[in-house]
Amino acid sequence: MIIVINTLPHYSFEDMVSKVTGKGVTIRDMTLEESFGDSLTDVQCINIDNSRGVWIATLMCTQYLESAIDSIVVRDDDFRPIGIVGGYDLLDHLRKNPTRDSQYKAKVEDIMFRDIPKTEKETKLKDLINSWKRSGRAFAIIHNEYGDYSPVSARRMLEVGTRCKTDISISSMPKKKIVTFKVDEPLEQVLNTMYENKTRKLLLQDSNQYISDRLILGGISRMLNLETDVDDLLHIPINKFDTEEVKVIKDDLKFDRLCSVMDRMEHPFVMYDDTVITPWDVCLTLLSEKLATPLEEFQEQMSCPNCGKPID
């Protein structure tokens, strides 16, 4: 009998055999097109002109960081993508230039990440995530059907995780140290902790509240607009910034359930026992050989080439 896969092209013969035998397909070896399907290019990039001021990028990033978009694409006068700007770039600029004037005088092109990461539909999931590990930027752009680009971010990988078949649960995921800050610390010390530990989120000591690059940039944007007497931004006490509550998970959820919970969150960040989990931790888990797509997902798409009826 010949098996035809209707809606997921590009699988190798070995992949088709694994579907028929019930072994599933290892997630990390799937292409982006296979992993996301039609939703791969559903999201549109958010853009900023390269000549705009840093303060405008700060305002924009407060809306889009930690979302499916996560970084702003910088365009030149011909609307060509020439870089990206995100929390890392804006806060690094702030650390080096903490005055109010520097936020208005500096342009986005002065601080942007110029080696803009691009990917293709045929790129394997493991190759993209490994490239993110090397660059430290969990973001890329991909051509879409509108002649422009769509973003591929760590946040979007939660969608892939929801369809995984695995025995992996939260307790078996790699644990990482919880990094904290104190309520009386100045912004400078909090940022130093973030950069030293290569993390975008810090938990407030002895609490379930956290601060992130998005929340810090939101506070900076508000102070630039309303608190004109503040000049050295790094000396602002961190308690002047808003915090949010981390979602505490009490059950040792399987990986797909965890991803489903996080995918429904506006800003995914959860705590279980003595560890915290972000979309980046999900990306690293997606590299596991133990993750496969459920057989049932593909059985629904198998049909007989003669009569067109589904194959049980």
Domain final residue pick, 112, 140, 160: 160
- Structure tokens that stand for 177 in this block: 């140290």
Residue 136 sits in a domain whose CATH number is 3.10.580.10
165 located within any domain: no
pLDDT digits (tens, 9 = 90+) for 50-71: 999 999 999 999 999 998 889 9
Domain final residue pick, 160, 179, 212: 160
- pLDDT at position 303: 44
- Structure tokens that stand for 280 in this block: 């980046």
- Return the percentage of the chain with pLDDT > 90, whole number: 76
294 neighbors 21 (Cβ within 8 angstroms): no
24 located within any domain: no
Higher pLDDT pick, 19 / 260: 260
29 located within any domain: no
Domain final residue pick, 160, 189, 204: 160
Is 185 in the same domain as 203?
Answer: yes
15 located within any domain: no
55 located within any domain: yes
- Structure tokens that stand for 226 in this block: 């309303």
Neighbour-count burial for 224-254, b at 16+ CB within 10 Å, e otherwise = beeeeeeeebbebebeebebbebbebeeebb
26 located within any domain: no
- Structure tokens that stand for 276 in this block: 């915290």
277 located within any domain: yes
**Number of structural domains found in the chain:** 2
Q: What is the dihedral of CA 45, 46, 51, 53, to 10 degrees?
A: -150
Higher pLDDT pick, 164 / 258: 258
Is 88 in the same domain as 142?
Answer: yes
pLDDT digits (tens, 9 = 90+) for 156-172: 999 999 988 888 999 99
Higher pLDDT pick, 164 / 127: 127
Is 149 in the same domain as 182?
Answer: no
48 neighbors 74 (Cβ within 8 angstroms): yes
Is 152 in the same domain as 236?
Answer: no
Domain of residue 218, residue span: 170-286
Cα–Cα–Cα angle for 185, 186, 188, nearest 5°? Answer: 120
User: Coil, helix or strand for 177?
Assistant: coil
pLDDT digits (tens, 9 = 90+) for 67-99: 888 999 999 999 999 999 999 999 999 999 999
